[in-house]
Structure 1
């Protein structure tokens, strides 16, 4: 069967077999490089921007970014890009083809955002609230991030040997809907707000991205749309900056869009060679204390599984495009890349990127992967990422990240059976609630004065602008588990597998009772997990989700009742998505 797939016709046209040898570099590898490089560059800018602004890694603590995290990123991306290029050459030799395209590879965007918001920022806030200096708190955030990356790498590597079994046993709607919920809130919504913050810089790049990927048009000289959009945003930003300097009394909207030109001069100060180093001691400092990472399992485990499943789907996508790679070795290398990241100082997992057919359509082969790995390594170990960040405003790259969020959300509906659309929808709610909780908590922290604890201590049904505050906090705790549980229950009910639905409801009860979901301790405006049997700081407000656990148990009883009772079918009155609608959606994507 494997041999038959290897000899399938190339989707790009012509025979898959060729007398010409496979070449490491072809002219079209430059096209592929620009596309992949722009994706990776946006991730680097996000790392520098988010870690600097939200985790205290600026000023005196900037060394954490430029001497530890970025060199670790360089190692993880270099080894992976070189491996997938070598893998493409091996496949070409085995099949006798010269049109094999390497798997695209880079930093996992959803994991990057989730780890910053839900792993590193809480660790930084907790350390500062206990009186730690900004530098010490930033170091703690970095160490906790390393452990999260290590956990994801272990899941990805071990999962390579059981990936097919996981894929068969877990409803796709459950996993993809959770990722879609994160994409809606923490990717699409957050960056949409940033887009509107500086529309003159971001909206033209947005138009270029949308016309590139919605309309599938090509630019002159076959320039990648992502590169064109980024270039347009940069030119606009610096054009407005120059206009503001020569027209100091101009309109305020010009000043609002102007960049800090002095940041370019300051960025030269961090340029210097920073070779990758092993940071196993710092990693062990957190691993040896389970109290520092046990509460993070509700983030680490689901994100590791999502990364694993997403990479598996992208391997399947490559096979559909004509390049049938070995699943086990491809996924194992992805896991090893993430483990290398954690060992050498990066907090951010790697992944096999979506879009292999697109790079194949550009004509890229193996060289684009090699060039990308080398260029990214040079940027990371020389500190020139800071210079690029000062030259390239984050708003110029926002449309590309926004598009990623759109694709992830759309995929959750399109890649699942049409009948499972309601399950995808119900799985979105906990993740959206988590985003809302982040916004509310941030507002309380900035405003000062009245705290969430003081409000809930007076009235447990306290509302904030119409939203139940307790419900928001409870739904946010372990929300990724809750997404999977609710969506899976919905899938099992749609398929009339009542016994399985009861089992998943029981899992929900166990998780709530153990404190992995819904339970919390609230101290002022700081929220933390409240595990069964754990001791909370004196003066904190505690909520044990025993009532939620009982609620899940009651749901299980209802499902068990129908599992052992003959149920007659009820005619469907209003289908959510017709078969023809589904076909049209699949054709569009």
Structure 2
């Protein structure tokens, strides 16, 4: 009876604050996608005509579903205080796809359209994998050490997100540093912002204004921004399937990037949904993973290149007392913005230095979460898991003719950076199992490391058979080493538990 009489509002005033918090996060991602792809050499017609509309389709579909899901939960439990899950493009995964998929694809092919199709196929595959992972429930979290996975992601946060964006900040300090401090005042200092504007959104506004004042952005940019306004219809395309022949051919090595980052995306959704359950809104984790994967796939059919996820901002929205309206409004705003070219206009006016602080904070949050979410004894595992991405970042910056400079620094830099996500997870997992004396698991992960290096997923520039022999041999030795300690521990335990006198026979 209570469920039947429940009137769950479509929108309430608390949704407004939650919307702006979610909006600035998505806005920063859309601006960075636009600016980065243009700087890499992708044409504006492709970025604003296909990539942004495709991403908007995914965001719209996911927000609509999660608003429906919230209404269903409210009706089931007879409550009006249910908060919809926040949803959008995953920031860490976005950077991995920008610099780990699109950039190398464009560098190898020299053809933006072909690189775009490879990226579409990679994104489609990522979505498909997450849908399949959804059937496993919580199995992954029980078999993959949290310190290893979060440590590897902390490497992405430290380098490609916080580090890369910090460079942008210091390139224009009058804009970037001021915007960064506004964000830190609001998020870490807990200081109230004027008119209750979210700190990150205020940072973008102030940073953009300062960019005009100092001449970093010219008034003529408004004319350029106006030229971006138009009608960009959401047109379905089969280009994603053209990319598969290349993804499983010339670019098969990208699987070493796609597989682990997709597992992270699934786990991120799992963690955020679990956190919402602790706050009172208990959603089905497997359903949410399936929705994220399906939204990602749907986006690729319209030109979207970036996987989507449930945001940790869901918790903030819950604390604000938001319902489902903020999710619906977010989907509507970005759909409208993409449809009429407003994203392109904003990307033209808003300098990267103004949005970079938002992503610096996101990257630092990943780093902090990797340590905060683990016991102190696992800190060494987190630290060693993030180091391969430091090498990978250097490898990305000096790829091509500059790789000899890395060899001059150390001959181990390049193999450490190749397949950094897998390497970080393996090294982190081995460290966790050593700390916990789970040597049998350590032997299994060393064996997985051996197979990954043998086929070139790690420590090799491309996939192949016996692609990194010295590393394959090293992991074989580790498998034997941990296997010995596992047997030794088992024998010692058996002797300890043996009846008195039996062990002396």
TM-score, normalising length from structure 2? 0.93
CA distance in 2, matches of 1:31, 1:125: 42
For residue 19 of structure 1, report the CA deviation from its aligned partner: 7.8
Residue 89 of structure 1: aligned partner: 71
Query: Which secondary structure does the structure 1 equivalent of 2:79 belong to?
Result: coil
Instruction: Describe the superposition over 1:167-191 as per-residue Cα deviations: whole angstroms up to 9, x where unpaired.
Output: 1111111111110011101111111
Q: CA deviation at 1:20?
A: 6.7
1:477 aligned residue (404, 418, 430): 418
The equivalent of 1:194 in structure 2 is 168
User: Aligned partners of 1:343 and 1:200: how far apart in 2?
Assistant: 41
Please list the CA deviations of residues 439-467 of structure 1 after superposition, one character each: whole Å capped at 9, or x if unmatched.
Answer: 333xx75xxxxx546x79xxxxx42xxx2
Deviation of 1:530 after TM superposition, in Å, equals 4.4
Residues 1:508 and 2:449 are matched in the alignment: yes
Indicate conservation of the 8 Å contact 1:18/1:97, yes or no.
no
In the other structure, the counterpart of 2:342 is 384
Cα pair 1:287 1:293 within 8 Å, conserved: no
> Which residue pairs with 1:489 in the alignment?
430
Whole-Å separation in 1 of the counterparts to 2:449 and 2:415: 14
- Contact kept, 8 Å, 1:237 with 1:393, in 2: the verdict is yes
Contact 2:3 2:76 in 1 (8 A): no
- CA offset at residue 269 of structure 1? 2.5
Residue 483 of structure 2 aligns with which residue?
560
| Whole-angstrom CA distance in 1 between matches of 2:52 and 2:463 | 34
CA distance in 2, matches of 1:177, 1:76: 28
Distance in 1, Cα, partners of 2:82 & 2:193: 24
Cα distance in 2, alignment partners of residues 17 and 176 from structure 1: 40
Separation in structure 2 between the aligned mates of residue 406 and residue 74 of structure 1, nearest angstrom: 26
Q: Which runs of 4+ in 1 moved over 3 A?
A: 16-20, 566-569
Task: Provide Cα deviations, 1:89-134, integer angstroms capped at 9, x if missing partner.
Answer: 1111111211111100011111111111111111111122xxxxxx
Comparing 416-425 with 307-316, which one deviates more in the overlay? 416-425
Q: Superposition RMSD on alpha carbons, in Å?
A: 2.0
Aligned position for 1:124: 106
2:245 maps to: 288
Q: Deviations over 1:505-551 (max 9, x none)?
A: 1111111111111123xxxxxxxx14227xxxxxxxxxx42011111
Aligned to 2:502: none
Counterpart pick for 1:397 among 355, 369, 376: 355
Mapped to 2, the partners of 1:561 and 1:108 lie a distance apart of 41
Q: What is the match of residue 280 of structure 2?
A: 322
Give the TM-score taking structure 1 as reference length: 0.80
**Whole-Å Cα distance in 2 between the matches of residues 363 and 218 of structure 1?**
18
1:361-380 equivalences in 2 (<5 Å): 361-380=319-338
Which of 204, 209, 216 is matched with 2:183 structurally? 209
SS at match of 1:193: helix
Residue 359 of structure 1 deviates from its aligned partner by 1.2
Gaps of 5+ in 1: 1-15, 129-136, 242-257, 446-450, 457-461, 521-528, 534-543, 570-589
Alignment partner of 1:435: what SS?
Answer: helix
Counting helix residues as a fraction of each chain, which structure ranks higher? 2
Alignment equivalent of 1:37, drawn from 13, 23, 30:
23
2:318 pairs with 1:360: yes
Matched, 1:144 2:114: no
Contact 2:106–2:112 under 8 Å retained in 1 = yes
